[in-house]
Amino acid sequence: MISASDLRAGNTFVQDGKLIKVLDASHHKPGKGNTVMRMKLRDVRTGATYDTTFRPDEKFEKAHIDTKGVQYLYTMDDTAFFMDLETYDQYELPVDTVEEEMKYILENMEVKIQFFGSEVIGIQLPTTVVLRVEETQPSIKGATVTGSGKPATMETGLVVNVPDFIEAGELLEINTAEGTYVKRAGK
């Protein structure tokens, strides 16, 4: 069991038979009354997101999530296909349940699939990924890192704000938790 005050972004718990993932959690102390936990949650099976509040002392059953290393193969229609690196078993995930994660994944990239029992529930991305800039405005001569930046469309369709000196074709390291530019990774 885990109390609402101990839930953090990324935690998964079971509530009324539903598997719920915490997207954001914060303490809130209204002017009057008791402290509450404000949470943004996602139903792992349906993909529906919603905001709610809990008393800090409410208890939930913590979901035991296992992970397994897999390789992303391809997407066909509305399904993404992954292959277990040890057994060569294939797993299928509906694209709409992993839409955000797919913006960071290229074919043949290794990621981890998350399981709740034998049920495949999602993808765990590495902390950073290297992606190629497909399209951005031309670089500005004399631009510095401290400029306001410009949008760049990566090869997966992800749009990231990058420094003004970045050009199309460059490889960039991208933080997958925040969707932000980290550094250049080469050409």
Q: CATH 2.30.30.30 in the chain: give the residue spans.
A: 2-62
Residue 70's pLDDT is what?
Answer: 92
Q: CATH 2.40.50.140 in the chain: give the residue spans.
A: 66-124, 128-186
Separation of alpha carbons 105 and 126, rounded Å: 10
H or E stretch including 35? none
68 dihedral zone (left: phi>0; alpha: psi -120 to 50; beta): beta
Q: What is the CATH number assigned to the segment(s) 128-186?
A: 2.40.50.140
Taking only the tens place, the pLDDT of each residue in 24-65 is 888 878 777 788 888 888 888 777 788 888 888 888 888 888
Its CATH architecture, for the domain 2-62, is Roll (2.30)
Taking 60 as the threshold, does the pLDDT of residue 90 lie above it? yes
- Of 30-34, 61-65, 158-162, 165-169, least confident by mean pLDDT is 30-34
Nearest to residue 170, comparing CAs of 141, 145, 127, 139? Answer: 139
What is the third-level CATH fold of 66-124? OB fold (Dihydrolipoamide Acetyltransferase, E2P) (2.40.50)
The torsion of the CA quartet 106, 117, 15, 33, rounded to 10 degrees, works out to -70
H or E stretch including 128? strand 128-136
- Of 9-13, 28-32, 169-173, 177-181, least confident by mean pLDDT is 28-32
> What is the number of other CB atoms lying within 10 angstroms of the CB of residue 173?
15
Taking 70 as the threshold, does the pLDDT of residue 143 lie above it? no
Separation of alpha carbons 176 and 8, rounded Å: 17
